[in-house]
Structures are given as C-alpha cells and as structure tokens.
Homo-oligomer: A and B are copies of this chain.
Amino acid sequence: MVLKLRRYSERPMYLQIKEALRSEIVSGTFPNGTYLPSSRQLSQELGVSRITVTNAFAELEADGFVQGDSRRGVFVLPLWEKAVATPDTSAEPTPGWQQSLSKDPGWASERMRLDLLWRTRKSGTIPFNALRHDLCFLPANEFRNSLNNVLREDGGIALDYEANAGYLPLRQTLSQYLRHQGIQAEAEDVIITSGGQQAIDLLCQAFVHPGDTVVMENPTYPNALTAFKVRHARVVGVPVDADGMRIDILRQLLERESPRLIYTVPTFHNPTGAIMSATRRRELVLLAHEYGVPVLEDDYMREIRFGSPIPPPVASFDRYGNIIHIGTFSKSLMPALRLGYVVARGALRERLIMLKRTADICSSSLIQRALNRYLTSGEVHKHWKRVSRLCRRRQMTMVAALERYFPKSAQWSVVEGGFAIWVSLPQDVSARRLLNESLKHNVSFAPGELFFIEPADQPFMRLGFAPVNEDQIERGIKALGNLIRQQSAKGGIR
C-alpha cells in the first residue's frame, strides 16, 4: 500500500492520511474486519509522528469506517463497507416513493411546458424568446456602487437575517412609489418577496386548494399557470383582446363558476402586450366586489413605456379590498435582484408573512438595502428613460422587419411599451415545427403553446425585441419570415 501524501499542502497531514486510508478502505484494500497497519508502523512508513496517525484513525473512527480495539489496533467496520461501496448507480434500487413521485398526472403537462421553454433557451441563438431588456444596458455600475455603500456603511447587519416581511425603508420607498400610482399602501402593507414569482406562489398557497377554480387570461404568463396547475387547481381561461381581459366573458363565467382567485396581467399583458382599458379596470373592481372574489393583479412592468399614458393599476380603482397588487424589479431593473412585492392587508397579510417565513425566511437584506439606495438615488428614473428609448427603437426596427419579411396573413399589434410583440401566424403554420427549424438557423422565439392553458400547438409566437440589437433583429426576422413562407406555402403538411 502506498499512500499519496502532499508534504507541502495546506491540508493538514492527519486529514491527508485519513482520506488516503478511506479510499483504500472503500476500494477494498482493507476488507471488513481486517486490521489497519498499526500507528507505529504507519508513522515509520510515512515519516510522520505517531500522534498524526492516531488523529487520522480518530477521524476514520468518527466517520464510522473503523473501530478501535484496545489490544490489536484498528479494524474496518463491516456495515460501512456495505453502505458506501464504490457507487454503481445503475445497480442502485429506486425507492418506491421515487416511483410514486414520477406518476403524478397533473405534472406531466407542466413538465412538457417547461421542457419546451428550456428548448427555446439555446445559447448562441438570436434570443427573440427572452422577455427582458438587453444585458448590456443593465445598471451594473450604479448597482455595484449601491452594494458597496451598503457593505461599507451598514456593515454586518446588512448580512444578517431580515424581517420576514422585508427591509422597512425599502417598504417605505415602495409605499411612496405605489401612492404615486394611486394605491394607498402603507409601508406595513408591502411585503417583499423573492421576485414577482414568489408573490404569485405565496398567494397560490394562501388561496388555492386542489380542485379549486382559478381564472386567468388565456393565453397567460406560463410560470403563474404552472404554479396553479402543480397545486392541482382547475384553471379556466378568459380571452384577451386589444383592451385586455374580456370582462363581459368574465362576468358570464362568474355567473356559473365560483373561482377562488382571478389572476390578471392588465398592463403589457404577457404574451399579447394588451393594456386593459380604464373602463375594464373599473368593471373588474366592481365584478370582484359583486362576486366576492380576490383578484391578483400582476403589474410586472409598468416603467418601460413609450410615451402614451397607461391607466393606473387596477388596485388604484379598488375601494373594497379585493385587488391584490404585486410588482417586481426583475423586468424594469434586473432579474438577479430576485425582488418583488405584494400589497396585502388584514388576515391575508398575516398569512403571507407566515408563508414567506416558511418559504425562505426572508429575502436578502443586502440586496434589499442596495435596491433601496438605488431607488432613492434618482438614478432609476434615468435608467428607465434610457431603456424605454432603446426598447422603442428596437420595437420599431422589428415592426419594419416584420412588415418586410413576414407574409400578409401574419398579424401583430404594436403596443406602447414592454419588451415583445405577439404575432398571429397563418393558420397552416405549426409554431412548434417552426421553432425546430428556426433553432437550426440559430434564431429562437417563444411559441404560442407556452402561454395557453392547454398547451396544444398554437399558431402564435412571442418575439422579444428588447435584448436583440438592430442587426440581429433584421437578420432574425428575415430568417423567420423565410421559414414561415416555406411552411405556409406547403400548406402546413408535415
């Protein structure tokens, strides 16, 4: 037996000896019940002190590999060998609970949706699939300054646990920001979450039990849909037109269903981009009151807009306490903050704080403090303006390219904000097949079925213009246009 030791390593010698002996045991040099060489013998062989070897033995014993025997030395324990013999994953039995986990039918469709989503994220492609702004335009330097100031000035407390509901000064800043939008939220009504997604997830946990009905726009934001579906909710869709959710159809639906929750993205609806009109917002408030249903208003991106005013949040019209408003900084600033918020009162607030505690205790104090500094510095407004201008330019470039390269039967509408255009394709085009083809040409997009409650192949695509530069937009749309024409000319037959 030759133990490989590194004389000048930072790793203490006794640990090196222990690890070397452990691999010898695991590899079978010392089978069950055999004795290791004595500490005297090993210390001579290895040129180390006896106490070093004894320490290595003690570590091995604590790890359950060996046991000391006062007379003859140290022997290898049998059970251990059985438990950690060289792993051979092919031979490992699968526990029964693993099998039952894989059999839940409610998960299969969402698993397929997720797989498709992952497929669109092929690196090296033109990322029309992404709903975010350009990584080059993220305010990395300004945010680094905020981070450094927090670490320098706040010290250790910025690295400790934060209150479950969030860093109070940030909640105060947000309550002011919300009041500007007409939402009367006190700082204590604002609960900080790990992105808007966590707000959706906690609300789902608070309201939705298996079998409960949830109403959403159809199409809708896939990660909200998945959150409801994996909780075995029954999801019912309401169509969307240029003025947002069809409130008339919602009313009919509420006549016959008793949903636990209505989820809506009223501003720059994902994926269609629709902005719910002020009239419909008011009607939604009244309907929610009339039928006693809470409404989750996902206001994920209000700040990136191109001039025309947009109506204030649905929650600003609400006097009855049914509109639960959530927001996020993932789109308007940067996803890596993982910060969002929910405005809630009464028993719901209490419950959300408890659920936030069980979910992840709190969001990072450091990041909350840095965000608060950044928001109160005034830099953020400059950033939003800069990004809005950039997005507007790219949107116009994409529209021009669409008009040039897409067939007449493709349709889209141009919204005054956001990051993407929703395109209705000719009926004989399969978006799924189009994606397969376009990925081969290094162009990605988000196919329609990602967004529909029942994920069947739908002749739609969401094209994100924000993270793609003008040259790539031109090239990418041209390639897509060619592929669509090919499919459509063939009448969509495989």
A interface residues, Cβ below 8 angstroms from B: 10, 22, 58-59, 61-64, 79-80, 82-85, 87, 92-99, 101-102, 107, 110-111, 114, 132, 134-138, 140, 143-144, 147-148, 151, 155-162, 182, 184, 193-195, 197-198, 201, 206-207, 223, 226-227, 230, 260, 278-279, 281-282, 285-286, 289, 292-294, 308-312, 316-322, 330, 334-338, 345-348, 350-351, 354-355, 357-367, 378, 381
In the bound complex, residues from chain B placing their C-beta under 8 Å from that of A197 are 358-361
Q: A211 → chain B, closest Cβ, in Å? A: 12
Known: A282-B79, A282-B80. A347 touches B98 (CB 8 A): yes
Q: By the criterion CB–CB under 8 Å, are A355 and B59 in contact?
A: no
Q: By the criterion CB–CB under 8 Å, are A132 and B144 in contact?
A: no
CA of A139 to CA of B159 in the docked complex: distance in angstroms?
A: 9
In the bound complex, residues from chain B placing their C-beta under 8 Å from that of A226 are 354, 357-358
Q: By the criterion CB–CB under 8 Å, are B158 and A336 in contact?
A: yes
Q: By the criterion CB–CB under 8 Å, are A159 and B140 in contact?
A: yes
In the bound complex, residues from chain B placing their C-beta under 8 Å from that of A309 are 58-59, 61-63
Of B58, B319, B378, the contact of A87 (CB 8 Å cutoff): B319
CA of A147 to CA of B367 in the docked complex: distance in angstroms?
A: 12
Known: A85-B319, A309-B62. A360 touches B198 (CB 8 A): yes
CA of A219 to CA of B362 in the docked complex: distance in angstroms?
A: 23
Q: By the criterion CB–CB under 8 Å, are A227 and B347 in contact?
A: no
Q: By the criterion CB–CB under 8 Å, are A336 and B378 in contact?
A: no
Of B83, B317, B362, the contact of A318 (CB 8 Å cutoff): B83
CA of A222 to CA of B237 in the docked complex: distance in angstroms?
A: 40
Chain A to chain B contacts (Cβ below 8 Å), 7 pairs: A101-B206, A101-B348, A114-B354, A144-B148, A159-B336, A193-B360, A194-B338
CA of A119 to CA of B111 in the docked complex: distance in angstroms?
A: 43
Q: A25 → chain B, closest Cβ, in Å? A: 11
In the bound complex, residues from chain B placing their C-beta under 8 Å from that of A92 are 319-321
Of B94, B161, B278, the contact of A63 (CB 8 Å cutoff): B278
Of B94, B182, B281, B285, the contact of A346 (CB 8 Å cutoff): B94
Q: By the criterion CB–CB under 8 Å, are B336 and A99 in contact?
A: no
Q: A330 → chain B, closest Cβ, in Å? A: 8
CA of A322 to CA of B316 in the docked complex: distance in angstroms?
A: 51
Besides A80-B282, A161-B335, A230-B354, 7 more A-B contacts (Cβ < 8 Å) are A64-B311, A101-B346, A107-B354, A135-B157, A138-B159, A197-B360, A201-B359
A156, A230, A322 pick with most chain B CB within 10 angstroms: A156
CA of A206 to CA of B101 in the docked complex: distance in angstroms?
A: 8
CA of A59 to CA of B93 in the docked complex: distance in angstroms?
A: 66
Q: By the criterion CB–CB under 8 Å, are B135 and A335 in contact?
A: no
In the bound complex, residues from chain B placing their C-beta under 8 Å from that of A310 are 62
Q: By the criterion CB–CB under 8 Å, are A96 and B354 in contact?
A: no
CA of A195 to CA of B194 in the docked complex: distance in angstroms?
A: 12
Q: By the criterion CB–CB under 8 Å, are A64 and B317 in contact?
A: yes
Of B99, B336, B345, the contact of A365 (CB 8 Å cutoff): B336
Q: A78 → chain B, closest Cβ, in Å? A: 10
CA of A64 to CA of B276 in the docked complex: distance in angstroms?
A: 12
Q: By the criterion CB–CB under 8 Å, are B132 and A160 in contact?
A: yes
Of B64, B278, B289, B334, the contact of A160 (CB 8 Å cutoff): B334
CA of A351 to CA of B226 in the docked complex: distance in angstroms?
A: 12
In the bound complex, residues from chain B placing their C-beta under 8 Å from that of A132 are 160-161
Of B148, B156, B195, B364, the contact of A135 (CB 8 Å cutoff): B156
Q: By the criterion CB–CB under 8 Å, are B294 and A95 in contact?
A: yes
Q: A322 → chain B, closest Cβ, in Å? A: 5
In the bound complex, residues from chain B placing their C-beta under 8 Å from that of A157 are 135
CA of A80 to CA of B283 in the docked complex: distance in angstroms?
A: 10
Q: By the criterion CB–CB under 8 Å, are B96 and A321 in contact?
A: no
A134, A260, A362 pick with most chain B CB within 10 angstroms: A362
CA of A79 to CA of B85 in the docked complex: distance in angstroms?
A: 74
| Chain B residue nearest in CB terms to A93 | B320
Q: A84 → chain B, closest Cβ, in Å? A: 6
CA of A92 to CA of B316 in the docked complex: distance in angstroms?
A: 15
CA of A143 to CA of B98 in the docked complex: distance in angstroms?
A: 38
